[in-house]
Amino acid sequence: MTNYNDLSSVKKRITILGSTGSIGRQSLNVAKRLGCTVTALAAHSNSKLMEQQIRQYKPSMAVMFDKKAADDLKVRVGDLSVKIMSDMDGLCEAAAVDTDLVLNSVVGMVGLCPTIAAMEAGHHVALANKESLVAGGEVVMKTAARCGVNILPVDSEHSAIFQCIQGAPPNRAVKRLILTASGGPFFGKTIEELKAVTTTEALSHPNWRMGAKITIDSATMMNKGLELIEAHWLFNIDSENIDILIHRESIVHSLVEYKDNSVIAQLGVPDMRIPIQYAITWPLRVNTEVKELDLTKYSLSFYPPDYKTFVCIDACKTAIKRGGLSPAAVNAANEVAVSLFLDRKIGFTDIGQLVIQSLEYEIPVANGSLEQILQTDKIVREKTLSSAKKIKR
């Protein structure tokens, strides 16, 4: 039985993968405030910030995926006894270090193997890294069930749904999930107008400050497509029963409609520290530094999405309906396309076209294995890169 008055259990031991990023940095702050101990940290190449985090949080292990950055980090923290590793082996070893919770906030499908490694080691996972669930949903959910571990959503919409179903009867009384979407910086624009938008414009999100990849995903609305697939796996609900609703103010973070047509929503100011903290403290709730919501200050608006202009949403719907390796394919194409767009090598609307094309690529027949997902990811990345080279600008 959970003792809801005993708040000492929120002082967990926590490993944070992607600790130098937007979610990772906020997670460290939340963890510190809760009195958690940091067991291991991992990131890609920002060894300077990793050095600061090691000195402040004193993990027993730190990983820089990039080998050169790991070598640099070894020199920087040569006076300390922290173990430093690199590459995927390092990430998976960090994920498996003895701890109470692994918070995975790396960006991209590179988070898949560490998510599985954490579960195989018997750890609960707080998941921000949606790409690992999009590409490997079935494997991830089956591994979680087999290992008897929880996946606690960090993504704000999924945290909202998770909060709305607390205490719900287990008899599938949920009729529909409604994911809210801010609509991003290009809400209301036409395809023609989108052709001309710049990387700088796409990087200015109206409501959230996030890493570059998810900011572009929000601008194309691929983010909502990825989140639809994420919700399908997390809540075991048919994708036909997941709707998307544009809500410009990002105050209602998502809703659950029950069979009796009663709708339960979760609201709060747009601040990721709320879902991050809930993933760490669940099922308990404790105080935060986050501002209270004053509803008199907002006028809330809701609109249907423009599926014709924001083509990535339907591509994700098609992928999850087809099932198998299709979600891994659209995710891989999107990761490559976003990176090319950030490097100013393709235009904004090319991202959607490359994602749609990936649905036509020949990919292995699915047997649901991790190897096949990784192989599909590799094949689709190569094909997307070569398709992108043919785009005339």
| Site for Mg ion contains 155 (CB under 5 A) | yes
Q: How many CB atoms lie within 10 A of CB 25?
A: 16
User: Are 246 and 305 within 8 A, CB to CB?
Assistant: yes
CB 378 within 8 A of CB 360: no
Name which of 211 and 368 has its Cβ closer to ligand NDP: 211
| Cβ proximity to ligand NDP, 271 vs 350, nearer residue | 271
Q: Which is nearer to ligand NDP, 178 or 226 (CB)?
A: 226
Shortest CA distance to 379 belongs to which of 359, 361, 354? 361
Residue that is written with structure tokens 């339907």 in the block: 314
- Measured from the Cβ of residue 349, the count of other Cβ atoms closer than 10 Å reads 19
Of 26 and 387, which has the nearer Cβ to ligand NDP? 26
Q: Closest separation between CB of residue 200 and ligand NDP, Å?
A: 17
Interaction between residue 42 and ligand NDP (CB under 6 A): yes
Does 129 sit near ligand NDP (CB under 6 A)?
yes
Beta-strand pair 37-43/61-64: parallel
Q: Which residue lies nearer to Mg ion by CB, 155 or 350?
A: 155
Helix pair 87-96, 112-120: axis angle to 10 deg = 40
Stretch that binds Mg ion, among 24-32, 67-75, 150-158, 242-250 (CB under 5 A): 150-158
366: helix, coil or strand?
coil
Q: Which long-range contacts (CB under 8 A, 24 or more apart) does 199-203 make?
A: 199/341, 199/342, 199/344, 202/341, 202/348
Name the residue nearer to ligand NDP (CB basis): 215 or 281: 215
How far is Cα 72 from Cα 20, in angstroms, rounded to an integer? Answer: 16
Question: Residue 367 and residue 261: Cα distance in Å, rounded?
Answer: 38
Number of H helices, E strands in the chain: 16, 11
Q: How far is the CB of 96 from ligand NDP (least distance, A)?
A: 15
Helix (H, G, I), strand (E, B) or coil at 257: strand
Is-contact 168 146, C-beta < 8 A? Answer: no
Site for ligand NDP in 98-127 (CB under 6 A): 105-108, 110
Two structure tokens written together for 314? 């339907």
Taking the least distance from each CB to Mg ion, the nearer of 139 and 226 is: 226
Closest separation in Å from C-beta 40 to ligand NDP = 12
Partner from ligand NDP, Mg ion, none contacting 86, C-beta within 5 to 8 A by type: none
Question: Binding to ligand NDP by residue 210, rule CB under 6 A?
Answer: yes
We find the least distance from the C-beta atom of residue 244 to Mg ion, in angstroms, to be: 12
Give the whole-angstrom CA distance, residue 232 versus residue 133.
Answer: 10
Q: Given candidates 10, 12, 15, 23, which one binds ligand NDP under the rule CB under 6 A? A: 23
Which residues between 325 and 364 bind ligand NDP (CB under 6 A)? none
Nearer Cβ to Mg ion (155/271): 155
- Among the listed ranges 29-37, 138-146, 147-155, 185-193, the one in contact with Mg ion (CB under 5 A) is 147-155
Among Mg ion, ligand NDP, none, the one that 18 touches (CB under a kind-dependent 5 to 8 A) is ligand NDP
Q: How far is the CB of 253 from Mg ion (least distance, A)?
A: 8
DSSP 96-157: HSS-SEEEE---SGGGHHHHHHHHHTT-EEEE--HHHHHHHHHHHHHHHHHHT--EEE-SHH
Residue nearest ligand NDP, CB atom distance: 21
Among 36, 41, 43, 244, binds ligand NDP (CB under 6 A): 43
Residue 266 interaction partner, one of ligand NDP, Mg ion, none, beta carbon < 5-8 Å per kind: none
Q: Contact positions toward Mg ion, by CB under 5 A?
A: 155-157
Residues that bind ligand NDP (CB under 6 A): 18-24, 42-46, 65, 91, 105-108, 110, 128-131, 155, 208, 210-214, 272
